[in-house]
Amino acid sequence: MTPAEVAVGRLVVCPTPIGNLQDVTQRVLVALAEADAIACEDTRHTRVLLARYSLTTPLVSLHEHNERARAKELVGRMRAGAVVALVSDAGTPLVSDPGFALVRECLAAEIGVEVLPGPSAVTTALVASGLPADRWLFVGFLPRKRAELERLLAHTGETLVAFESPRRLAGTLRALADADAERPAAVCRELTKLHEEVRRGSAGELAGHFEATAARGEIVLVVGAAPAGAGSNDEALQALRDLVAAGARARPAAAAVARLTGVGANELYRELTSEAATDASAEMTGGPLGAGQ
């Protein structure tokens, strides 16, 4: 057989249950059974799913520490005709889980990538929250630094969906409540599992509850949009100053701050450049008007 006759394999991205193993789709089970190998985040975790459905497809680990090297290896196998199924421990791969490097390597090598629909904790929590789902923003895991967290929570203009750890949940809710105790939110815990809980309420109510009762399990936090005008012009301008002071270019930084705050990018840019011009003029004259007298 000549090289041109060798079949080129493909990658099949397979969402897996976020808790209840009955939530796996028939198409995913067929794909896992027919694949030559399954690339998975944790082989021990994936074996539980395979054992439930009597599947024996070989497993290959692919996680955040080995993904780049493993991606090249798997692309080589797919070039030779192998079909590789990609799964994460739970939900849809790439959504705050490994797999992005592998998909990119496949696309660069012109290897087919098939994505199957299936479970996702993000959309499950969004719908369960009872908050508006017409416009929403998923941010993965929330930032650890208090200032970054407060800025994100204050300036979102749509429903916010994020993963959070049980250890940090109470502190995150308190930061949200300190800014606006009436902000609507929902804590979705252990979705589809035996101890599933969806607790809805104001930020103040939820902060009080989880400060008194420690959260357990996997958590998705859903937060309603900030009230109109929550991000003031002064706060937006200060954020832009901070970015520029850290080395960011003014115009792209103004556009980024505008997306987060709703304050116009051109307005922010004009304010910043006006300040810079005033400062430069003051330096040339020895300081503010009258300061050199």
> 28-37, 184-193, 243-252: which has the minimum mean pLDDT?
243-252
The CATH architecture of the domain made up of 122-223 is 2-Layer Sandwich (3.30)
Do 126 and 222 touch, CB atoms closer than 8 A? yes
Backbone phi and psi for residue 152, each to the nearest 5 degrees, phi listed first: -65, -45
pLDDT, residue 3, reads 46
Quick check: 264 pLDDT over 90? no
Structure-block tokens of residue 92: 């849809």
CB neighbours of 79 closer than 8 A, spacing ≥ 6? 8, 9, 109, 111
Domain residue spans in the chain?
9-119, 122-223, 233-280
Q: What is the pLDDT of residues 16-73, one digit of tens each?
A: 999 999 999 999 999 999 999 999 999 999 999 999 999 999 999 999 999 999 999 9
Do 197 and 209 touch, CB atoms closer than 8 A? no
> 15-19, 96-100, 198-202, 257-261: which has the minimum mean pLDDT?
257-261
The sign of the CA dihedral 57, 61, 64, 66 is negative
Q: What is the pLDDT of residues 132-183, one digit of tens each?
A: 999 999 999 999 888 888 878 876 789 999 999 999 999 999 999 988 899 9
| Encoded amino acid at 226, one letter | A
Do 22 and 126 touch, CB atoms closer than 8 A? no
Q: What is the pTM of this model?
A: 0.75
Q: Quickly state the pLDDT bin for 127 (edges 50, 70, 90).
A: very high
How far is it, in rounded angstroms, from Cα 38 to Cα 149?
Answer: 37
pLDDT, residue 271, reads 83
pLDDT, residue 265, reads 80
Q: Quickly state the pLDDT bin for 229 (edges 50, 70, 90).
A: low
Do 203 and 173 touch, CB atoms closer than 8 A? yes
The CATH architecture of the domain made up of 9-119 is 3-Layer(aba) Sandwich (3.40)
